[in-house]
Structure 1
């Protein structure tokens, strides 16, 4: 699983996601944001949809799903579902 720091150095929407998720939602608390990121990715890794996928494909898919699940409430309400 990629860390938030790795996502921040990524391309596309990843850096913007990290800026909002860490900077605004978690007030710059990287450790807390990283914990919530990792927990969310792990939750998605454990869904039935990941069965039969290679570890690399499952991880990549779980990261995409986690980013989507965390980004919407972060942009919309400035909140993290893990913090609630």
Structure 2
């Protein structure tokens, strides 16, 4: 009986440790996808682009597009980058 309890406790601890890693990774990768898309199209990727590609902020992809366009990114490139974010 003690082995079952120990195994159950270890399973809960492992699951609790894995959930934040699984949940955080996609958002970070998406922001990088947005920035890499623009970098591949020869835009300078700095703090402004990094901020725009962070679509977790209020307004999401619409704000992303507006920020990128205001930074001089062509509208079609801004749309494609923000879809990746």
Q: Name the TM-score class by shorter chain.
A: 0.3 to 0.5
Using the size of structure 2 for normalisation, the TM-score is: 0.36
Indicate the structure with greater helix content.
2
Question: TM-score, normalising length from structure 1?
Answer: 0.36
Larger radius of gyration: 2
